[in-house]
């Protein structure tokens, strides 16, 4: 089964991000394909490379990056939600006159069209968080 996953909550604000991550891993282990993971609303905070949790805590951003790399998963941050929360990649930094970027490895910024495409191309769209 081909899946698209939507994550609407930040990495340390709510259990949704952890649950989505564990769901994705379990789905992959069972042989399912993940077409895309789309991070929306506060979920875009899963894609900042500046997150630095305490050493005894899980690093959710790193987990997402490693999962994307290991399984070649397209992980997209909603552009509007990312801009509102100060997340920028090279292109957005240039367009908006910012002097730095802060997107973690494995993530990219794009629009809602990527979510729609994921829903169309997949057998299921699964949403985590409000």
**pLDDT for 53-81, tens place per residue?**
999 999 999 999 999 999 999 999 999 99
Q: Is 78 marked active-site?
A: yes
CA distance 102 to 49: 5
The CATH T-level fold of domain 2-128 is Hypothetical Protein Ychn; Chain: A, (3.40.1260)
pLDDT above 90 (res 27): yes
Cβ 89 vs Cβ 109: under 8 Å: yes
- The pLDDT of residue 57 is 92
Q: What is the mean pLDDT of the chain?
A: 96
Domain ranges for the chain, please list them: 2-128
Going by pLDDT thresholds of 50, 70 and 90, the confidence category of residue 130 is confident
Percent of the chain topping pLDDT 90: 95
Does this model's pTM top 0.85? My answer is: yes
pLDDT above 90 (res 3): yes
What Cα–Cα distance (Å) separates residue 43 from each residue in 28, 82, 88, 123?
Answer: 21, 9, 14, 22
Structure tokens at 103: 């997107």
Query: Of 78, 79, 81, 88, which is the active-site residue?
Result: 78
């Amino acid at each position: 089964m081909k899946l698209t996953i939507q994550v609407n909550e930040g990495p340390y604000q709510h259990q949704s991000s952890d649950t989505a991550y564990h769901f994705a891993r379990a789905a992959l282990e069972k042989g399912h394909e993940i077409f895309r993971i789309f991070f929306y609303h506060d979920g875009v905070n899963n894609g900042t490379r500046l997150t630095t949790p305490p050493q005894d805590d899980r690093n959710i951003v790193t987990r997402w990056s490693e999962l994307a790399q290991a399984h070649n998963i397209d992980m997209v941050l909603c552009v509007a939600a990312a801009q509102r929360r100060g997340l920028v990649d090279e292109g957005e930094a240039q367009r908006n006159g910012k002097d730095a970027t802060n997107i973690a490895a494995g993530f990219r910024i794009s629009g809602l069209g990527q979510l729609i495409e994921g829903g169309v191309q997949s057998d299921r769209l699964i949403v985590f968080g409000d």
